[in-house]
Amino acid sequence: MVSTKVMLTGSFGVGKTSLFKQFLFSEFSERYLTTIGVKVDKKVIEVDDDQLNILLWDVAGEVSLDKVPHSYFLKSSGIIYVFDLTRPLTYKNMISDIEYIENKVPGVKVKIVGNKKDLLTEEQLEEVKSKLPIPADIFTSAKTGENVELLFMSLARKILGKEE
């Protein structure tokens, strides 16, 4: 079995913890509780004939230099960068955040995720897509579970070198 470390990062309030809980426990809560520091849990998934033990880190707050300790990034194989589709401020710094991540962890596999898809119509989603500084890899709803499993499976495939 292969083990890997995956970090969820992005601005506060974008749904990192909700994605974490939806993926691990198929749970969603309307209550907003700020993450303090980092929450860590694990899940074993099957990818083709391989088992992957994902050690998932839900990191509090922002991506920037002074917000997340450098040690949190160490030995990460994958990073899920989450932004809120309903709050443009959460993707304003996307380019610099992704560059920062890639400098901290060279060669890391990154998935850029627009969350809270359930709050938008298809027309609104298309409008948001046109305003993003770089394209997102996937759009999710931690509330409904839409594309959450797909997000983690596609990252797992990417980490294992099996992405289509």
Would you state the pLDDT for residue 144? 97
CATH homologous superfamily of 2-159 equals: P-loop containing nucleotide triphosphate hydrolases (3.40.50.300)
Strands 2-10 and 78-84: parallel
What percentage of the chain's residues is helix, strand, coil (to nearest 5)?
35, 25, 40
Would you state the pLDDT for residue 80? 96
Angstrom distance (rounded) from CA 149 to CA 121: 22
Angstrom distance (rounded) from CA 50 to CA 42: 16
Angstrom distance (rounded) from CA 99 to CA 142: 26
Task: Give the pLDDT confidence of 129-156 residue by residue, as tens digits.
Answer: 999 999 999 999 999 999 999 999 999 9
Q: What dihedral do alpha carbons 120, 92, 6, 139 form, nearest 10°?
A: 20
Task: Give the pLDDT confidence of 26-65 residue by residue, as tens digits.
Answer: 887 676 566 556 788 899 999 988 899 999 998 876 665 5
